[in-house]
Amino acid sequence: MLVPEVTSTSRPGPASRTRRALTFLTFLALGALTIVGLVGACSSDGSTGPSVPVDDATVTLRSSSFSPNRILLNLGGTVTFNNSSGVTHNVTFLTAGSPSDIVDHSSGSTARDFATEGEFNYRCTLHSGMTGRVTVVAPTP
């Protein structure tokens, strides 16, 4: 008795299509998570400083974020920007009346005094999404 040969020219069965669809969806999900991770990697870390104004504060420049990225500072206060990450960063102020910018550096600390009330936004121009803000208020008696 002759048995007919089965050839692979026919379309794949339902199980094969399901496996391929699941593989595709898995790669799609992993790709989406990778993109979200890359976008988040160069963003502010969401940490905030004290909820009451302080006279002095320190902002740490991490590999891809400022920490904390929000400071509430008394008028005349000082913020020290400390970079020990080994990654080159800068601090570029975006608000008129801000202290002078801090040039590209990969280590060290630089302090800036804030002699005017207001909100002073800053960013690292080398890393998209790396932003912060110093809010300066008059001290309460």
Give yes or no for a contact between 43 and 123, defined as CB atoms under 8 angstroms apart.
no
Average pLDDT over residues 17-23: 68
Whether 39 maps to a domain, the answer reads: yes
Task: Please give the structure tokens belonging to residue 31.
Answer: 């790709």
Q: What is the pLDDT of residues 34-67, one digit of tens each?
A: 333 333 334 445 567 768 999 999 999 999 999 9
Residue 5 lies in a domain: no
The answer to whether 127 and 40 are in contact (CB under 8 A) is: no
Regarding whether 71 and 110 lie in a shared domain, the answer is: yes
Tally the C-alpha atoms within 13 A of residue 79's C-alpha that lie toward its C-beta.
Answer: 33
What sign does the CA torsion over 50, 53, 55, 61 have?
positive
Structure token digits, residue 29: 């999900």
Residue 80: domain span: 54-137
Whole-number Å distance between alpha carbons of 138 and 14: 71
Alpha helix segments (H runs only) across the chain: 14-41
pLDDT of residue 35: 38
**6 within a domain of the structure (yes/no):** no
31 and 100, same domain (yes or no): no
Tell me: pLDDT of 134 over 60.
yes
Distance, in Å, from the CA atom of 107 to the CA atom of 7, rounded to the nearest integer, reads 66
What pLDDT is stored for residue 133 in this prediction?
98
Q: Where does the pLDDT of residue 2 fall: very low under 50, low under 70, confident under 90, or very high at 90 and above?
A: low
**DSSP states along 49-76:** --SS-EEEEEEEE-SS-EESSEEEEEEE
